[in-house]
Structure 1
Amino acid sequence: MSDLLSTAPRARLRDLLAGPGPLVAPGAYDALSARLVEQAGFDAVYMTGFGTTAGLLGRPDVGLLTGTEMADNARRLVAAVDVPVIADGDTGYGNAINVLRTVQTYEQAGVAAIQLEDQVTPKKCGHMSGKEIVPLPEMLGKIRAATEARRDPEFLIIARTDAVAVEGVDAAIERARAFRDAGADLLFVEAPTSEADIERIAGELAGVAPLVFNWAEGGRTPPLGLDRMAELGFALVIYPIGTLLAATAGMRSLLETLRKDGTPQAALPGLPAFDEFTSLVGLPEVRELEQRYR
């Protein structure tokens, strides 16, 4: 039964990616934010490594989390929603042998797709400076390992290159093509810094494999409109950290009021009511189950 439950969102993700326009996947960093993404009407959730690191450790995305910690977080997100979860898998947490275990662990967690990148371990957020990338043959070995490790053919492998910041757009396009030849299902060229570069990447790769656009809030990539991204042929658009930034702003505001006034009373009108919050996290369903099994 669990295999059937995990396969259904993966098949759904493939259907969504084959649709006429880009699939929009807002970022989530914990089960609550994933649930809110689903309740807002989105068809997929993106588990952000940046947000997961901030949420679990309160630290920056510089390779501090292990694969086990990331997979555990992914498992909680999958359990909280019915829509497909696309999960950041960073570098695979080591070499190709580590990638084998990472992919199997993420697949067992129930995610629909894993994203793997070609940075040197420990990695950095794709919109930070000082990144390094592994030699192309090493990354191709990781992608082959990932494709061979999966047991469910519906489980998708997203291959990301950070080469734009290190070796330029030409190298990034060359790497992406090689990633597809190695078996990647989707291609992700991280952090182009101009619309011209985005157009070139899309023009050369849109016919090779479905493409991912990272609309990193406040990052180095120009913020294109969704219609423009559709015109360029992107299949998946992720908004990785907006929910994290919004939560941070909300908590800061509440805490400022509490520190100033001594109580949160003045901030309460802008917050969900207690009953509203317990409803959105599923209390009515729990009450129903209590009655059923009484």
Structure 2
Amino acid sequence: MSRLRELLGSDKLLVAPLVFNALTARLADEAGFQALYLGGGSMGYVKAVTEANLTLTEMVEAGLEIRSVCRVPLILDGACGWGDAMHLRRTIALSEAAGFAAIEIEDQLAPKRAHHHVGIEHAIPAEMMVAKIREAVAARSDPDFVIIARTNTARETGLDEALRRGEAYRRAGADMLFVLPKRSEDARTIGERLGGPLMYMTMGGGLASVGMSVEELHGLGYRLLVDPATPLLAAYAAMRASYRALAAGDADPTAATPQAAAEIQKLIHHTIGLETLLDIERRTVEAGQS
């Protein structure tokens, strides 16, 4: 877990893309990312429900599968912590045991509501969130485990309230703050008023939607930039097109020929490390067989 702390303390903004299973984690690792983000919103879509329907154990199980094949530091979208202050003890214990390097906890009602996906927030009193953060800090066994406190209140009650909450959450012991801006230009005000370390999240359109360079964000105290959706949106579009093509009797737009399909399968074999597994079999159960 200390690796994530080191990366967050560097002179460069750390970018963590969404992953939602072991294969996507391996692909992100291949691409060179140094941190990964297991996002609740996208995981809810993967299960054809919403983030509000996900359980702690489902996310922990996904984390275990990812960590079993990829050692890149993994950040957990911990939604509302799956309960009140008392529940945070188990949330933190399971998150650490699963190998997560950090958890993001937001100040919304638990259980979370699906209306969050259409911009309607249900913020709990700041005092309740402060208690949850304090318990999360007290519950962690590894001081390198990073606790990120999130508030979306700028979207409904205004930026001043969100900044007030951010200050309170930092005093409660949060290692990093994520104040979701209503407008991208508010990110500058958040950085100037709160200072770092801060997390930022692209809300569609990738880094171009932020309106600032990674250097500018870093200068304002942002240390972590998360893309919580782009890989899933790309995968969804590709799979939707594939199924529709198959149903219509048309060629898949990506694997249109046997040669293209074979090449993609070779890439998959490389990503999952098939040759390593085959080598083990050659030296053991397949040894001496013609």
TM-score of the superposed pair, with normalisation by structure 1: 0.88
The number of residue pairs the alignment matches comes to 279
Does structure 2 retain, via aligned residues, the 8 Å contact 1:123–1:131?
Answer: no
Q: Equivalents in 2 of 1:253, 1:276: separation in Å?
A: 21
- 2:169 pairs, out of 156, 179, 184, with 179
Displacement after TM superposition at 1:42 (Å) = 0.4
Instruction: Percent identity, please.
Output: 37
Structure 1 residues 92 and 265, CA, compared in 2 at 3 Å: closer, same or farther? closer
- 1:37 pairs, out of 28, 32, 50, with 28
Partner of 2:129: 139
Which has the higher mean CA deviation after the structures are superposed, 146-155 or 265-274? Answer: 265-274
Does structure 2 retain, via aligned residues, the 8 Å contact 1:127–1:191?
Answer: no
Does structure 1 retain, via aligned residues, the 8 Å contact 2:241–2:253?
Answer: no
- 2:188 pairs, out of 199, 204, 210, with 199
Q: Deviations over 1:9-51 (max 9, x none)?
A: x111111000111100001111111111111100010101011
Q: Deviations over 1:188-224 (max 9, x none)?
A: 00243141x1111010112xx41000112259x9533
Does structure 1 retain, via aligned residues, the 8 Å contact 2:60–2:94?
Answer: yes
Does residue 83 (structure 1) correspond to residue 72 (structure 2)? The answer is: yes
Partner of 1:94: 83
The residue type paired with residue 233 of structure 1 is G
Displacement after TM superposition at 1:136 (Å) = 0.9
The residue type paired with residue 45 of structure 1 is L
Structure 1 residues 26 and 232, CA, compared in 2 at 3 Å: closer, same or farther? same
Q: Which secondary structure does the structure 1 equivalent of 2:104 belong to? A: strand
Q: Deviations over 1:78-121 (max 9, x none)?
A: 22211100111110111111111101111000000011000112
Partner of 2:202: 215
Does structure 2 retain, via aligned residues, the 8 Å contact 1:257–1:266?
Answer: no
The residue type paired with residue 78 of structure 2 is G
The residue type paired with residue 214 of structure 2 is L
Structure possessing the higher radius of gyration over alpha carbons: 2
Partner of 2:280: 289
Q: Which secondary structure does the structure 2 equivalent of 1:115 belong to? A: strand
Equivalence map 1:95-114=2 (5 Å):
95-114=84-103
Q: Which secondary structure does the structure 1 equivalent of 2:256 belong to? A: helix
Q: Equivalents in 1 of 2:204, 2:129: separation in Å?
A: 27
Does structure 2 retain, via aligned residues, the 8 Å contact 1:35–1:81?
Answer: yes
- 1:255 pairs, out of 243, 257, 268, with 243
The residue type paired with residue 45 of structure 2 is A
Structure 1 residues 289 and 167, CA, compared in 2 at 3 Å: closer, same or farther? same
Does residue 161 (structure 1) correspond to residue 161 (structure 2)? The answer is: no
The residue type paired with residue 13 of structure 2 is P
Unaligned runs of 5+ in 1: 1-9
TM-score of the superposed pair, with normalisation by structure 2: 0.89
Does residue 242 (structure 1) correspond to residue 225 (structure 2)? The answer is: no
Partner of 1:5: none
Q: Equivalents in 2 of 1:217, 1:288: separation in Å?
A: 42
Partner of 1:275: 266
Structure 1 residues 136 and 40, CA, compared in 2 at 3 Å: closer, same or farther? same
Q: Which secondary structure does the structure 2 equivalent of 1:273 belong to? A: helix
Structure 1 residues 32 and 191, CA, compared in 2 at 3 Å: closer, same or farther? farther
Does structure 1 retain, via aligned residues, the 8 Å contact 2:5–2:144?
Answer: yes
Unaligned runs of 5+ in 2: 286-290
Displacement after TM superposition at 1:289 (Å) = 2.4
Question: Would you identify which runs of 4 or more consecutive aligned residues in structure 1 move more than 6 Å?
Answer: none
Structure 1 residues 250 and 258, CA, compared in 2 at 3 Å: closer, same or farther? same
Does structure 1 retain, via aligned residues, the 8 Å contact 2:44–2:53?
Answer: yes
Does structure 1 retain, via aligned residues, the 8 Å contact 2:201–2:225?
Answer: yes
Displacement after TM superposition at 1:262 (Å) = 5.3
